[in-house]
Structure 1
Amino acid sequence: MPTQMTNRPAAQETARETDGAPGMFDGVDLRRLAERIATPFHAYSAGAIHRRIDELQAALAGLDATVCFAVKANPNLAILQLMANAGVGADIVSVGELRRALNAGIPAERIVFSGVGKSADEIAGALNVGIMRFNVESLDELHTLQRLAKAQEVTARAAVRINPDVDARTHAKISTGKSENKFGVSIDEARRWFAERKQLSHVQLDGLHVHIGSQILSVEPFRLALQRVAAFWQELERTGHPINSIDVGGGLGVCYRAGVDRPLAAADYVDVIRAALAGYRGRLLLEPGRWLVAEAGVLLTRVLRVKEGAERRFLVLDAAMNDLQRPSLYDAWHDIVPVADTPRPPATYDIVGPVCETGDTFARARELPECSAGDLLLIRATGAYGASMASTYNSRPLAAEVLLDQGRYAVVRRRQHFEEMIAGEQPARNWETA
């Protein structure tokens, strides 16, 4: 039976309401902040993140559910500490993310390990600290987990990641649930794993996991994927294979383009989970990343110059593709607005950065109030996959990150120094043969 949609507020309102007066974000005047911290820099609203956490936890009331933040979305330790303090766990895909989560105070028993390419060393490290669960993506990984758990004389808790062959209706590069994608295994293969699970002396295979992609703006892909997972869970229960956890992944979309993107409210998303998994009595795991932090972040940048081309007018910023890769990587839209409270006539620009690549373009033919060199702009919804995907391309240092909270701010990562950027490099002095 289709889930009834309600007139709940759009999800993006919870993060955008912090804007208030022009230039204000979580009670902080961004213009004054940009006088103290050199642009470009990322700024995150603690209040907006807390509201998202509260909204999701309220929607999950009455369910045995654990929320595990997808660390890859924003691995800054201050963000992870905020998650830890709110009782949120972590979904990790590397040993580096594991160490970040633990350092931030997220207990191992609230950490799940996903990803198609876990190395033996990473698996051994996660076993050593006693994480909650491994989301297993291949038979080779399952055998490796068995071998390493036996060597440590521990029992690993594991879920099989199902690839339900569902089109998430999102960008091809962030779709993960179709049969052509590298993630997960077919239900037929998973069925064989459970049939042979008694041969796994040190792996307790008792969970299912599904994640079909990111930036999903419709309930239908979630509903279809979870219906397939539910049918498989019921089949396994009937054949004597108890399923103690179902991990429904993440993928909730956010508003990148005002007036166009219409994200789901958390309650509508959870309604789909409740309907698809009605009667399930085990633990539910959720892995939101983007939805919790994207709209809580902005990238502050200044105009370096306005360049009049033969055919186009270019607005050249001090931020670049190394600070925010999504537009060059996915052709992704981000709303871009001046931090100014005086009206100006409109002008049309290609908005670009200083990196020596044509792909270093944030927007094409974008209409903005007319800008001049030195103007402060903010690029919206950069709290996820912004700083986390940054690089030092063109030997540009990593930008600072700042956490805002009710009128105050704290630098949670200072701008990288040149010496730090080259710290691992050295002249070729010690030659060896292999």
Structure 2
Amino acid sequence: MLEKCFKLKEHGTTVKQEVLAGLTTFLTMAYILAVNPNILGTVMNASGVFVATALASAIATFVMAFLANYPIGLSAGLGLNAYFAYTVCLGELANEANPFTIALTAVFVEGIIFIILSFFKFREQIINSIPQNLKYGISAGIGLFIAFIGMQNAHIIVANDATIVGLGSFADLDMDLALIGLIIIAVLVHYNVTGGVLIGIISIWIIGMILQACGAYNTANLFPDFSNGLQLGGITETAFKLNFGWAFSHLIQFIAITFSFLYVDLFDTVGTVVGVADKAGLLDKDGNLPRVGQVFIADAVGTTAGALLGTSTVTSFVESSAGVAAGGRTGLTAFTTGCMFLVSIVLSPIFLAIPSFATAPALIYVGMLMLMSISKVKFDGDIADAVGAYLAVVMMPLAYSIATGIMFAVLAWVLLKVATKKAKDVSPIMWGVFVLFVARIVVLITNFQ
């Protein structure tokens, strides 16, 4: 049954390999189950957000598994949840009653729009119209970006007033444990140990718990805590809380809020899917992703379901690369990840106890693997291709945004094509994306003023 559904032999994988990959993806994504309630909890019921996040993630990831058959996990996107809580609810809508209901309505409408666009293959045309060099640059840029996230989570890279960022302290056990975890993963991978990334995560977590039991680690509690119970009733405070009345009476403002969610979700998803697909070897000989429309439908369905349940925009996660590195190649990986999201609802104290220093090594290692795509970038060819790819690589980690990296890459590529008298190489889709990014810059300038 599994073979027929996910075509394991065709993809050169096994049930064991796929399940281990799915567990690895989940463990690298599990932090969102703690982070999202913390952020959205400033304007909503935190326990309700937790349940909504787990359910919406499971729904979206199951759609990815069975409709697209890709090893990609989905959950509430970072950045979008901060925009939801701080910019929209506590900022633009601070004077409104229950502003989260308005924000959820905007997310719901965004999801419906994306479902429609997916059926018309608009998002698919975008991803397949991106030049090959830019795709490789995007993949490498995401590698640097997720490595940067991992290093931040483990305090290897910290804020620094003098140089903006700098090296953390070796007196910080989080940093030391993460570096040890990275070495463990690298050694296990070298010896072709199945599930090496997952074993590395669990191993360093166990080492951390041993140190805590000995009194050497006091930063946070590393052991699961069931003392407060599961607290699942909060979902009644977040589910089906849409406010279309306000949306229709403040249409212009509502459209602006919806567009902001739409913009970031669109290009974050495009960037993530390109990066993960390239690493998994899922792109065809022309650099396109088969069944990409189904990938976007999973994203859109997750966003819509998430809004109804009570969480911010659901999107594909770059952490899926950890599962790919662990051998994930089919939807069985995603199915396993989705099941773990469901399990997390009743075993949340266990999964939320996994510290960031344990998952950070996986992100850093996978970042290295994705960075290898830069070897495919042709820097000695067309100047537009070279500069576009370069900007994708450097702007994602430096601007801390996948979407921003893509924006700089596309704008530079189109402008250089025109400047070098190769405008005929620019497809109508790329012109459309170019105009969209220009409009985004205008909006940013207007908001800044």
In the superposition, the TM-score normalised over structure 1's length comes to: 0.26
**Richer in strand (by share):** 1
Higher-Rg member (1/2): 1
User: Relative contact order: is structure 1 or structure 2 higher (C-alpha 8 Å, sep ≥ 6)?
Assistant: 2
